[in-house]
Chains A and B, each alone.
Chain A
């Protein structure tokens, strides 16, 4: 089954303790991206990647890092989490890269990772 898999689905951590949320897709998608969902704000893009070793900032990148060493994986790293990073996080992928053809652009989302930072 074609899917985007995120782990963990739920996590409670403390301020300053580094954590990584993994994201993996099995559709050979080039484009991958991370979002956070907060009440009243909708989804905001954190980072995106056009392909292996190519990443760029979205709208709210502060406090986050990403890497794209393999095409299928796009982990989100919080080096020193803070309470304002408590949120619901979604990974999504798409192929080919958005904008290249009319058949593209549709994002496939993971089920979400609910993160609480105390």
Chain B
């Protein structure tokens, strides 16, 4: 069965510190990988994606993600967190069959 796992319900980090939000996946074939962010009472917004090529992908608002094929992981990172980064983050996988699978979400709390 296809699945996406975000093992942490919540991540707490101090402003200015680096942050990591973890994602692992289990799908057949070579999936496309995404990160989306959701602010309160809003729809999801695209952050970045991995299709092929360099394992380190850079996206919006200073976020980046590292693809690791052997570990089937796609962790989201940012060198220096901002309070405004506090939100709900979703990892997603798109399969060859035009279906999308999302993780359960990780709430990021950045404290001043």
Contacts and interface: CB of A to CB of B under 8 A. Distances in A.
A50 B51 contact: no
B90 interface: yes
A9 to B, nearest CB: 9
Interface residues of A, number: 29
A74 interface: no
A59 B99 contact: yes
A106 B46 contact: yes
Contacts of A109: 36, 43-45
Contacts of B102: 35, 42-44
Contacts of A99: 32, 94, 96, 98
Nearest to A106: B46
Nearest to B46: A106
A102 interface: yes
Contact of A112 (B43, B49, B100): B43
Q: Which 7 A-B pairs have the closest CB atoms?
A: A109-B43, A43-B102, A42-B104, A42-B102, A109-B44, A102-B51, A106-B46
B42 A107 contact: no
A12 interface: no
Contact of A31 (B6, B98, B101, B104): B98
B99 A45 contact: yes
Nearest to A58: B99
Interface in A81-113: 90, 92, 97-99, 102, 105-112
A33 B51 contact: no
